């Protein structure tokens, strides 16, 4: 099955307005299960075909995109964020709200994107899956402070899915200045299994 979105998947503005209230409510509930906070300023939102469709529909609505060409640009931008079979895809937010937080954290977080992983299982049977930066996003990065929004993926082989089910599963950041781990809830694990077992 091709998970990527096409023009046929994106409703025109009148049709989208009719479905928007229910769709938005559904996506808010889905994103709640897909959101994982790791420490005080980092949040991961694991993306799916539906969350990306919502993103494109909202962009088209706000920017009043009405042509196929304009929608194709959005599809080209956001389709890479839909997880392929055997992987999880996430938007990582570094949330520095105040100027004081930015002054404190920016010099400390250089290299943080290289220190992110999923830990599946525990003890001797645990597996560490290192995060990969989404290719087009990686091309824009410098080796300085990462931007506030980052796109990463975790390759999960078929042989790891059963271990993912058994758990525990956690997201870890092993940076010298930001060492934090967050355990995924049962609801989040169940939600992400819909990506790994489509």
Domain positions in the chain are: 7-196
Helix (H) or strand (E) holding 129: strand 127-130
Rounded Cα gap, residues 77 and 117, in angstroms: 25
List of the chain residues with pLDDT < 70: 1-2, 136-145, 198
DSSP-derived secondary structure letter, 39? T
Q: 49-63 vs 13-34: helix axis angle to the nearest 10?
A: 140
- Note whether 30 and 50 are within 8 A (CB): yes
User: Please, which residues have CB within 8 angstroms of residue 149's CB and are 6 or more apart in sequence?
Assistant: 91, 92, 93, 94
Report the pLDDT value the prediction gives residue 141, as an integer from 0 to 100: 59
Beta strands in 32-104 (DSSP E): 35-38, 42-46, 87-94
pLDDT at 110: 86
What would the pLDDT profile of 81-91 be if each residue is shown by its tens digit?
999 888 999 99
Grouping H, G, I as helix, E, B as strand and the rest as coil, residue 83 is coil
Q: What is the pLDDT of residue 182?
A: 97
In the prediction, which pLDDT does 175 show? 94
Scan for tokens 């599946």, then name that residue: 120
pLDDT at 78: 92
For residue 138, what pLDDT is reported? Answer: 61
Q: Is the pTM of this model over 0.85?
A: yes
Looking at residue 164, its pLDDT comes to 93
Nearest to 148 by CA among 75, 72, 92: 92
Which pLDDT does position 51 carry in this prediction? 96
Residue of 79, 146, 76 lying closest to 111 (CA atoms): 146
The tokens for 28 are 């808010």
Q: What angle do CA 127, 132, 134 make, to 5 degrees?
A: 150
């Amino acid at each position: 099955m091709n998970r990527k979105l096409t023009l046929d998947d994106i409703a025109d503005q009148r049709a989208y307005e009719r479905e928007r209230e229910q769709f938005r409510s559904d996506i808010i509930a889905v994103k709640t299960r897909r959101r994982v906070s790791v420490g005080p300023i980092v949040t991961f939102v694991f993306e799916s075909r539906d969350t990306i469709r919502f993103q494109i529909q909202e962009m088209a609505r706000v920017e009043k995109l009405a042509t196929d060409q304009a929608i194709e640009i959005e599809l080209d931008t956001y389709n890479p964020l839909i997880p392929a079979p055997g992987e999880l895809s996430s938007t990582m937010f570094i949330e520095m709200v105040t100027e004081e937080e930015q002054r404190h954290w920016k010099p400390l977080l250089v290299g943080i994107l290289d220190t992110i992983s999923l830990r599946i299982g525990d003890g001797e049977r645990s597996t560490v899956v290192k995060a990969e930066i989404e290719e087009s996003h990686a091309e824009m990065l410098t080796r300085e402070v990462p931007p506030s929004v980052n796109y990463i993926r975790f390759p999960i082989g078929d042989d790891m899915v059963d271990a993912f089910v058994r758990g525990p599963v956690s997201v870890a950041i092993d940076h010298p200045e930001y060492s934090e781990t967050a355990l995924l809830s049962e609801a989040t694990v169940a939600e992400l299994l819909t990506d790994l077992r489509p």
